[in-house]
Structure formats: structure tokens, C-alpha cells
């Protein structure tokens, strides 16, 4: 059976729906609040599992009231938590999120226990990780751990996807070159290549800078503009967005990656996986929250039947 391993973060999302951000020194009322399980790694794992792929999670929680809830949430989605461990004396990861009336989000992260996911944790999980068909990584855990995971994937001939989120200027591009898929959003791409990315032509040029450095497949997620895939073999596809009325864009990039991972391991077809991922991310922005807005298989199949063309 195909398996995806997510080595990454979990957070508790504290989402405030705002009319505007307060000024310094100002107290301002916001219309509503929602709390839920989040974190880029956890979101990607949950999206992938909701679609039916077997998922193994390697992650760390703290010793607070959020920890058991996070583990239970993984289990309720059928995710293997044998290597989700608790660390004492540290808080779990927490993410205050602000969503404005235009559905756009701003996120603060307090990494907490995520900072303690170490290379050694990958070695401990190696028995299970060796069976994975794809390892999925983000940057809410220490870079050394990410690099070790890439080395592990290469050593065991496992495909690896790196989502360089949030952008870390010190990311060693040599490691990105050792990944099969590199999936930034426009903001992350801009920080990585230090070039403007306002138009699709500019995004293409910036992605080509990465390909010239030796990356294999660069997939840029562009929100309401869809996604752009460029490969070192010269293949290029612009995946059109699925038009929806967005109310909360939080976690849409993670929905995209979780769904992409599911279809990639199930079909081996990158373009097909991208089309489905685009549709899955589109549905996610029509609901509030991160994981709470991800559709299950039945909901997604109905939507995809209308909006995804092969
Ligand atoms: O990508 C969205 C996620 O970023 C949120 O769930 C939040 O926890 C942060 O990790």
C-alpha cells in the first residue's frame, strides 16, 4: 500500500476574524474566533489522510493541554502517530492567525515543541519511514532535521517534497536540489531568489533561477492565480485556478500539498496531481479554519467531478 510520511510541525491555530488589525497601543474588537488543529506539517498530513492515503507523522508536541488533543486529532484521521512524541517542559506549537474581510491571512508561529524535532527522531522512526513512497517536509522544524530527512530519503530512494514554508533565508539550496519536488508560494519564492514575483512571467523567471541552480521540479502555488510547475526537463504547466468565493485562505497551501501528495503516490502523474490539488485547495478556502475546511473523499469527489478535467 502506498504511504506518505510527513516529518514536520503541528500547531494549535487560534484564528481571529478581523475587520482590520489594531494599531500599536489600540484594543480593537474582532467579530469572531475559531480554534483548531493546524501547523503546516499536520495540515498536509490530514489533507492527505482525508483523501485515503496511509500517512505516518513524525512530530513533537509539548506537555500542555494541547498535546493530547493534537495526537487524538491525528488518530481520528487514521494517521500513524507511533512517532509523534511529547516533550516535557515545553509548550506545544501555537499559531495566532488573523483573517481579514478579504479572506487573506497573516500568521504568527510560536514553534514550541516543534523546535525539538531532531535528526535523531528520524533515525528512531526509520523502520516505518523506509516503507514510505514520499516524504513531505516543511520549515517549521529545525533545518538540520529537514536536511537529515532529505539525506534519509535519498539514501532509501524515497521521493521527497520540500515546502519551504515559512521562508527561511538560510535554506541551503544544495538540499533543495536533492528533493524531487520543491513547492514554495509566491512570497517564499520572492524571498528565496530575491526577485519581484508580481506577474506570472516574473514568477516563471524566478522559478527558472531555482532550476538553473539544479532543482528538479519547482511548483509555485499562486493562490487565486492557480499554480505553475516547471521541471528541469523543460516541462512547464500553468494549472488554472478553480473559481470559488473565498472566506478564509488559511491552510490552503497545505491543502494543496496534502492533496498533491495523495494523487502523486496513487497515480505517479504530476500534472494530474496538480489539477486535483488546485481543486482541493479551492474548496478549502470556502470554509473557515485550516484542517476544519478540508473536504473528505466524498465531498471532494463531487466537487472534482465538476471542476477537474483530465
Ligand atoms: O499554513 C497554515 C498553517 O501555518 C497554520 O495552520 C498555522 O498553524 C501555521 O503553521
Domain chopping of the chain, boundaries: 4-20+32-307
- Cβ-Cβ contacts under 8 Å for 247 (sequence gap 6 or more): 103, 285, 286, 287, 288
Tens of pLDDT along 178-203?
Answer: 999 999 999 999 999 999 999 999 99
User: What radius of gyration do the chain's Cα atoms show?
Assistant: 18
Regarding the beta carbon of 253 and ligand 1, being less than 6 Å apart is answered yes
| Ligand 1 centroid distance, CA of 212 (Å) | 30
Kindly report the protein residue whose alpha carbon is nearest to atom 7 of ligand 1.
39
Regarding the beta carbon of 12 and ligand 1, being less than 6 Å apart is answered no
310 residues of the chain, pLDDT tens digit each: 789 999 999 999 999 999 999 999 999 999 999 999 999 999 999 999 999 999 999 999 999 999 999 999 999 999 999 999 999 999 999 999 999 999 999 999 999 999 999 999 999 999 999 999 999 999 999 999 999 999 999 999 999 999 999 999 899 999 999 999 999 999 999 999 999 999 999 999 999 999 999 999 999 999 999 999 999 999 999 999 999 999 999 999 999 999 999 999 999 999 999 999 999 999 999 999 999 999 999 999 999 999 888 7
Regarding the beta carbon of 61 and ligand 1, being less than 6 Å apart is answered no
Regarding the beta carbon of 258 and ligand 1, being less than 6 Å apart is answered no
Can you give the pLDDT at residue 95? 98
Q: Output the CA–CA distances (angstroms, integers) from residue 244 to 144, 235, 274, 285, in the order listed.
A: 39, 28, 17, 8
Which of 39, 19, 32 is CA-nearest to residue 290?
39
Give the mutation target among 11, 185, 257, 288 for probing the ligand 1 site: most ligand atoms within 8 A of CB.
11
Kindly report the protein residue whose alpha carbon is nearest to atom 1 of ligand 1.
251
| Ligand 1 centroid distance, CA of 12 (Å) | 9
Superfamily of domain covering 4-20+32-307: Ribokinase (3.40.1190.20)
Tens of pLDDT along 220-229?
Answer: 999 999 999 9
Known catalytic residue at 121: no
Q: What does the alpha-carbon distance between residue 281 and residue 250 come to, in Å, rounded to a whole number?
A: 10
Amino acid at each position: 500500500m502506498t504511504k506518505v510520511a510527513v516529518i514536520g510541525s503541528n500547531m494549535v491555530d487560534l484564528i481571529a476574524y478581523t475587520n482590520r488589525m489594531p494599531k500599536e497601543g489600540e484594543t480593537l474588537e474582532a467579530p469572531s474566533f475559531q480554534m483548531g488543529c493546524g501547523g503546516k506539517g499536520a495540515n498536509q498530513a490530514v489533507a492527505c489522510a482525508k483523501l485515503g492515503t496511509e500517512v505516518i507523522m513524525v512530530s513533537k508536541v509539548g506537555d500542555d493541554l494541547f498535546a493530547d488533543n493534537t495526537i487524538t486529532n491525528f488518530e481520528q484521521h487514521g494517521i500513524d502517530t507511533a512517532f509523534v512524541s511529547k516533550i516535557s517542559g515545553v509548550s506545544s506549537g501555537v499559531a495566532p492567525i488573523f483573517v481579514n474581510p478579504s479572506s487573506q491571512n497573516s500568521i504568527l508561529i510560536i514553534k514550541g515543541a516543534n523546535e525539538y524535532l531532531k535528526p535523531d527522531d528520524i533515525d528512531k522512526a526509520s523502520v516505518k519511514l523506509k516503507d514510505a513512497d514520499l516524504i513531505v517536509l516543511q520549515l517549521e522544524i529545525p533545518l538540520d532535521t529537514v536536511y537529515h530527512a532529505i539525506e534519509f530519503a535519498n539514501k532509501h530512494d524515497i521521493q521527497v517534497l520540500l515546502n519551504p514554508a515559512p521562508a527561511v533565508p538560510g535554506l541551503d539550496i544544495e538540499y533543495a536540489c536533492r528533493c524531487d519536488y520543491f513547492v514554495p508560494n509566491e512570497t517564499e519564492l520572492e524571498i528565496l531568489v530575491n526577485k519581484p514575483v508580481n506577474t506570472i512571467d516574473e514568477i516563471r523567471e524566478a522559478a527558472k533561477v531555482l532550476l538553473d541552480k539544479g532543482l528538479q521540479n519547482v511548483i509555485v502555488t499562486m493562490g487565486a492565480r492557480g499554480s505553475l510547475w516547471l521541471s528541469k526537463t523543460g516541462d512547464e504547466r500553468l494549472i488554472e485556478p478553480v473559481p470559488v468565493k473565498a472566506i478564509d485562505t488559511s491552510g490552503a497551501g497545505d491543502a494543496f500539498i496534502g492533496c498533491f501528495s495523495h494523487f502523486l503516490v496513487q497515480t505517479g502523474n504530476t500534472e494530474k496531481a496538480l489539477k486535483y490539488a488546485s481543486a482541493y485547495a479551492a474548496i478549502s478556502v470556502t470554509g473557515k479554519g485550516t484542517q476544519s475546511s478540508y473536504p473528505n473523499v466524498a465531498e471532494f469527489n463531487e466537487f472534482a467531478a465538476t471542476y477537474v478535467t483530465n
